Structure 1
């Protein structure tokens, strides 16, 4: 059985489209369809059923997929052991939007120089969806928030960044106005609250902080886009409580950042990847590149004191999550 055909089955099932799988594998849709037909004849089952422009895996196909992934992975491991020095091939990278708009473009620019034969495939998503996809072996490496549970033992993780919880305010509220928890509570009492969606792992930290200190808020809206939240604060619509993410874009927003919580409310951004992978050299190259870029940017980030010491990011730059 040709493992390339099994790989086509996996990609069609993930993408829900023969055309999308053809683009990903650099083949024609007819070639992918022929591969599927050959496997169906060989196995004596129907693998997909058409539903308009998409295809849905049959029950037989769903039972086949775990075994197909294992066979394709073992074949790739065998090939990788014979070509241990290669830094070529496709690397499927998942990242949260904070990373997509800040670290990732510079990381890919660096990799284009150091590993020009590495072909990145970029998949944006929430931390929840990205962890789910890498657990199903649909991605090779992700950059996402550390989950509030223990990861699968088949996965490894390296911490990239630890982000303190910050109060984001209009510039009319100065550092002198945010000196202790009572002053934070007064700000929330007088300003509408732009809430970081508590269904996200990062948003939970803000909710836990407010609950622990019994701080009441006047809710303006709930949203899961930190760039949009920052722009709302800039327009004077309220204040927000978010992790201090990496700033690399000068957007000219007129806002101030104030650190209000200790390290127990930090949001940790991790690199997550399989402990054993045929693409281990590509994963290592990507991880080292993004770590190097992060260190370079961090060394140029200005800081100022907050309730819990130094660490406030410069307030002129924003990205989103």
Structure 2
């Protein structure tokens, strides 16, 4: 087994086909196939299900790809250290949508002063899928919402806690939280996560059944509908930090009792540990700058938000 074979099998995983891998590693498709066959012969196992077209990695193949990514990254960093070079390469990072617009870009910018030769590849998605990508080695790490079932191969470190806030059109500034829930139609953020179900439960407790007027699958769309006067919504605080003055009325939802925690998920053993530790520290600073609650490992969650008006 050599690094060229490892690079090839990773290229197949990333491109989805032998032909795609050939373009990445600058070989012919037949040469890629020969390298994979040689690797399978050396390991004594099949790595691909060749009954499918194109052939797909099986469980053993997925396991090898995860190990190959780690080995290749370690070799790259070792080469840099021995030659006296600086940390370089691409940090493959994932983030949920609400933190991908300000928090993560600001953290990347902060990292430039520490690692000038480092570049970034950002993937935006749902927490569950991002964690799967980290576990599979497709991402180095991701900023995701807290999950109960974090796989044993991953670690989750808290970064921030933020309250959920009720937002309403500006002409509703004279109404209380309960009055808003009972009088305005509801704009729902369509996502299948436990927090969404908790919001539904609390809304029912406050005002019985709510009249749903719209559904959207992005936070900017939800906030935009509220600003347009369509109704109210329950959103994380970070989602409306850029709202123009006077376009929203905000109320503490359930007295700030409902929060969500976000954290950095990474593999237990990662060649990127140093860079990821620096990124997490940078994120703490950005979170504080944004007026949110930074959470270092072991720190208890702080859940508090006062009634506020964006004006």
Bin for the TM-score computed over the shorter chain: 0.7 to 0.9
Paired with 2:309 and 2:31, the residues of 1 have a C-alpha distance of: 54
Residues 1:57 and 2:50 aligned together: no
SS at match of 1:162: strand
Paired with 2:181 and 2:25, the residues of 1 have a C-alpha distance of: 56
Residues 1:69 and 2:104 aligned together: no
Deviation (angstroms), 1:214 = 6.0
SS at match of 1:110: helix
**Alpha-carbon spacing, 1:68–1:312, altered in 2? closer, same or farther (3 Å):** same
Cross-structure match for 1:36: 32
SS at match of 1:168: strand
Cross-structure match for 2:262: 269
Cross-structure match for 1:315: 310
Gaps of 5+ in 2: 293-302
Cross-structure match for 1:164: 163
Quick check: 1:257–1:312 contact (8 Å CA) kept in 2? yes
Q: 2:221 aligns with which of 228, 236, 246?
A: 228
**Alpha-carbon spacing, 1:236–1:17, altered in 2? closer, same or farther (3 Å):** farther
Moved more, 80-89 or 269-278: 80-89
Paired with 2:8 and 2:246, the residues of 1 have a C-alpha distance of: 47
Residues 1:196 and 2:189 aligned together: yes
Deviation (angstroms), 1:229 = 0.8
Cross-structure match for 2:9: 9
Paired with 1:46 and 1:140, the residues of 2 have a C-alpha distance of: 23
Cross-structure match for 2:296: none
Cross-structure match for 1:139: 139
**Alpha-carbon spacing, 1:274–1:41, altered in 2? closer, same or farther (3 Å):** closer
Quick check: 1:206–1:242 contact (8 Å CA) kept in 2? no
Cross-structure match for 1:287: 280
**Alpha-carbon spacing, 1:32–1:232, altered in 2? closer, same or farther (3 Å):** farther
Paired with 1:50 and 1:242, the residues of 2 have a C-alpha distance of: 46
Paired with 1:46 and 1:114, the residues of 2 have a C-alpha distance of: 39
Paired with 2:255 and 2:7, the residues of 1 have a C-alpha distance of: 47
Quick check: 2:163–2:305 contact (8 Å CA) kept in 1? no
Paired with 2:19 and 2:255, the residues of 1 have a C-alpha distance of: 50
**Alpha-carbon spacing, 1:21–1:253, altered in 2? closer, same or farther (3 Å):** farther
1:210-225 correspondence to structure 2 within 5 Å: 210-213=203-206, 215-225=208-218
SS at match of 2:137: coil
SS at match of 1:144: strand
Paired with 2:47 and 2:232, the residues of 1 have a C-alpha distance of: 55
Deviation (angstroms), 1:245 = 1.6
Deviation (angstroms), 1:157 = 1.9
Deviations 1:123-173 (A, max 9, x none): 1111121122122222111011112x2312322222222121211101111
Gaps of 5+ in 1: 300-307, 317-321
Deviation (angstroms), 1:116 = 1.1
Paired with 2:199 and 2:77, the residues of 1 have a C-alpha distance of: 44
Cross-structure match for 2:116: 116
TM-score (norm 1): 0.77
SS at match of 1:31: coil
Paired with 1:120 and 1:114, the residues of 2 have a C-alpha distance of: 14
Paired with 2:93 and 2:222, the residues of 1 have a C-alpha distance of: 26
Quick check: 2:257–2:304 contact (8 Å CA) kept in 1? no
**Alpha-carbon spacing, 1:296–1:311, altered in 2? closer, same or farther (3 Å):** same
TM-score (norm 2): 0.79
Cross-structure match for 1:209: 202
